[in-house]
A and B are shown apart, each in its own frame.
Chain A
Amino acid sequence: MSLDSGLMAATTPERRGRAALGLAGGIAGFLLTLAITLFGLVVVTFVIGRIVPIDPVLAVVGDRASAATYQRVRTEMGLDLPLVEQFRIYLVKAVTGDFGRSVLTTNPVIEDIRTYFPATIELATLGTLIGTLIGVPLGVFAAVRSGSVLDHIVRIIGLVGYSVPIFWLGLMALLLFYAKLDWVAGPGRIDIAYDYLVTPVTGLLLVDSLMQGQIDVFWNAVSHIILPACLLGYFSLAYISRMTRALVLNELAQEYVVTARIKGLSEARVVWRHALRNAAVPLLTVVVLSYATLLEGSVLTETVFSWPGIGSYITSSLQNADMNAVLGGTLVVGAAFVTLNLVSDLLYRLLDPRTR
């Protein structure tokens, strides 16, 4: 849904009008919007942090501390300052990446995020790749043979993707492909036997293991990632194929397609070289938006597959009332989502000459 609205936002006449200011104006406007939106995100997480019913001082000192200790810690945490001043400190800390310490892991939250985030990126990237490589051709075929059996199948794939709870589908996939058929490895990112064999460089296990020549580790990691990646890929495919179909159908109705056909070009050339090429820019924004949604939506998938990513980090911190970790994780995922969302908008304006 946020995908739809995002694309809607990207194509409103108002935004296209703004793009008329030109390239520099476009980038300046993008940076301004990005800054304001990220600021909004910081405000919202600050407000969320203030309405927590848990007393953050009690969480640190424990309920047996004396009144003097309580007061001292309260002052140290800056909780006796006026709200505006508290927000200023929070904002400065957020910008510099200081989200405080996690009560659960006792590490600074930003270090935890550095450890967990690559796993999420690895999963979401593979998911988007699968979704794009299958979704775009499916959408094109559905548009070319609009009304055919294939078109209906693509529509059903999309409808199911929009209707099925992802965590439930993940559980059922684990039951079938791991427990019953034993085709893939189970939850987690790697078997314990292979753990710590690869030194993290990029943090992406598939890349690191290949670079260090650990082929066994690579294949083990593949058998772990393939199921959650296919699952995320399916959801991305449902959206991408539907949007591709709509975009290509729109192009096929244009007059240049008629001209190309009259010129005697083969139908394949008309579709793949002319129509798809003109749909490529909005399609790119669709893929970027889908990537952003997978980053965010990984919260549920990661929980199901015990995937040690940022989503698992946020939910396990939630269950332990570790608010520093929750808000830090939310800010980072939120910032990635917001940036990708706005980048897709910028790409649309920069790459499509018609919007200049």
Chain B
Amino acid sequence: MAGTSSSLAAWLTTAEPQSRAQARLGHAWQGFRRLSRNPTAMAGLAIVVLLIFVAVFAPLLATHSPIASGDLRTERLLPPGPVFWLGTDDQARDIYSRLLYGSRLTLAVVILVSVIATPIGLAIGTISGYFGGWIDRILMRITDIFLAFPRLVLALAFVAALGPGIENAIIAIAITAWPPYARLARAETLTIRNSDFIHAVRLQGGSSLRILLKHIVPLCLSSVTVRVTLDMAGIILTAAGLGFLGLGAQPPTPEWGTMIAQGRRFLMDQWWVAAVPGIAIFVVSLGFNLLGDGLRDALDPKAAR
């Protein structure tokens, strides 16, 4: 066993990889090694992995239904105890189970916003940086306008117009999230654009589209990924804020921000109803922040402060 693991390490760290896959895996391994030397980053990674685990296995881990009410006469607003581990809310629902199912929404919001906003930012940034000239000027002017916008208030207005709901909240957050990625991708593209290997591809007859997609975008990915990870906490907080204002997920959906809004009415006497979901939001955003900081130091030494 020890023999295989050491030969695996040797295979990963070899100076002469035999294939592209080996080189990539080796590179990822080195990055992970650097990350694993950073205890706070590993704590962040643990929190994120836990979030994914809980989201996937929520039906197995939950003790009650997240939506169906319990006995409204005897099980309303109970404090944490042996049956209801984190107490019950005003509809006699188990807060612990709702919290578990809520992790699915949090994860969905983070993934969907990144999936929508990252390609927009990458496309605008790389096109802007690669072509330069008036294309660059127009695209960057638009990006600057969006950068200077108040993100939360605009997301509010968007959701107000589209109607409350988790889907519209995701769209609204994504629309306001892409500009930093575009700036970053543009800056990276500018440094790559005049490299010899790009000239070589062009001489071989590679089209601009091919150069952008196959050569420039992959090189921009790591720094943009770091930036997206750092933004994930902000995305979670904005989504929870919209939920709290009644504009995100609608009851009875167990979204954490919405749960805080519902618990607010019982804050003075049954404080745990509002306190517990807030702790969950805090821990998860802390996890993404720690992981993002660690990734920045490990993968992107240029950006480290």
State whether A52 touches B148 (Cβ < 8 A): no
Indicate whether A9 sits within 8 Å of B241 (C-beta atoms), given known contacts A175-B268, A334-B153: no
Nearest CB of B to A168, in Å: 3
A71 within 8 A of B: no
- For residue A326, which residues in chain B have a CB less than 8 angstroms away from its CB? 156-157, 160
Indicate whether A37 sits within 8 Å of B145 (C-beta atoms), given known contacts A5-B180, A52-B161, A171-B278: yes
| B190-239 CB contacts (< 8 Å) to partner A | 230-231, 233-234, 237
Indicate whether A318 sits within 8 Å of B234 (C-beta atoms), given known contacts A167-B244, A179-B268: no
| A34-63 CB contacts (< 8 Å) to partner B | 36-37, 40-41, 44-45, 48-49, 51-53
- For residue B230, which residues in chain A have a CB less than 8 angstroms away from its CB? 1
**In the docked arrangement, what's the CA distance between A1 and B173, Å?**
13
State whether A44 touches B285 (Cβ < 8 A): no
Q: How large is the interface on B (under 10, 10 to 19, 20 to 34, 35 or more residues)?
A: 35 or more
**In the docked arrangement, what's the CA distance between A167 and B240, Å?**
9
Choose among B153, B267, B271, B274 the residue that contacts A333 (Cβ–Cβ < 8 A).
B153
A66 within 8 A of B: no
A330 within 8 A of B: yes
State whether A300 touches B244 (Cβ < 8 A): yes
Indicate whether A1 sits within 8 Å of B234 (C-beta atoms), given known contacts A165-B241, A167-B260: yes
State whether A41 touches B183 (Cβ < 8 A): no
State whether A330 touches B289 (Cβ < 8 A): no
B282 within 8 A of A: yes
- For residue B161, which residues in chain A have a CB less than 8 angstroms away from its CB? 48-49, 51-53, 323
B144 within 8 A of A: yes
Indicate whether A314 sits within 8 Å of B153 (C-beta atoms), given known contacts A167-B244, A300-B241, A342-B148: yes
- For residue A163, which residues in chain B have a CB less than 8 angstroms away from its CB? 233, 237, 282, 285-286, 289
B73 within 8 A of A: no
The residue of chain A having its C-beta at the shortest distance from the C-beta of B278 within the complex is: A168
State whether A318 touches B245 (Cβ < 8 A): yes
**In the docked arrangement, what's the CA distance between A168 and B285, Å?**
13
- Could you tell me the dominant secondary structure of chain B's interface residues? helix
With most chain A CB atoms within 10 A of its CB, the pick from B154, B163, B183, B271 is: B154
Choose among A4, A165, A330 the residue that contacts B240 (Cβ–Cβ < 8 A).
A165
B141 within 8 A of A: yes
State whether A299 touches B148 (Cβ < 8 A): no
State whether A318 touches B282 (Cβ < 8 A): no
Q: How many residues of A contact B (CB 8 A)?
A: 57
**In the docked arrangement, what's the CA distance between A45 and B153, Å?**
11
| A296-321 CB contacts (< 8 Å) to partner B | 296-297, 299-300, 303, 314-315, 318-319, 321
A117 within 8 A of B: no
B84 within 8 A of A: no
**In the docked arrangement, what's the CA distance between A328 and B132, Å?**
37
- For residue A337, which residues in chain B have a CB less than 8 angstroms away from its CB? 148-150, 153
**In the docked arrangement, what's the CA distance between A52 and B274, Å?**
32
State whether A338 touches B285 (Cβ < 8 A): no
**In the docked arrangement, what's the CA distance between A290 and B157, Å?**
22
**In the docked arrangement, what's the CA distance between A323 and B145, Å?**
23
**In the docked arrangement, what's the CA distance between A140 and B120, Å?**
38
Q: Mark A3-40, 1 if CB is under 8 A from B, else 0.
A: 01110110010000000000000000000010011001
Q: Mark B162-194, 1 if CB is under 8 A from A, else 0.
A: 110000000000000001100100010000000
**In the docked arrangement, what's the CA distance between A2 and B264, Å?**
28
B20 within 8 A of A: no
Indicate whether A319 sits within 8 Å of B264 (C-beta atoms), given known contacts A9-B183, A165-B282, A342-B148: no
**In the docked arrangement, what's the CA distance between A167 and B145, Å?**
28
A84 within 8 A of B: no
Nearest CB of A to B106, in Å: 12
The residue of chain B having its C-beta at the shortest distance from the C-beta of A39 within the complex is: B145
State whether A175 touches B267 (Cβ < 8 A): yes
With most chain B CB atoms within 10 A of its CB, the pick from A167, A292, A315 is: A167
State whether A341 touches B148 (Cβ < 8 A): yes
State whether B274 touches A168 (Cβ < 8 A): yes
State whether B145 touches A162 (Cβ < 8 A): no
A207 within 8 A of B: no
State whether A162 touches B289 (Cβ < 8 A): yes
State whether B149 touches A172 (Cβ < 8 A): no
A-B pairs, 5 with minimum CB distance? A168-B278, A40-B145, A163-B286, A296-B150, A163-B285
Hey, which bits of chain B sit against chain A, CB under 8 A?
A: 141-142, 144-154, 156-158, 160-163, 179-180, 183, 187, 230-231, 233-234, 237, 240-241, 244-247, 257, 260, 264, 267-268, 271, 274-275, 277-278, 281-282, 285-286, 289-290, 305
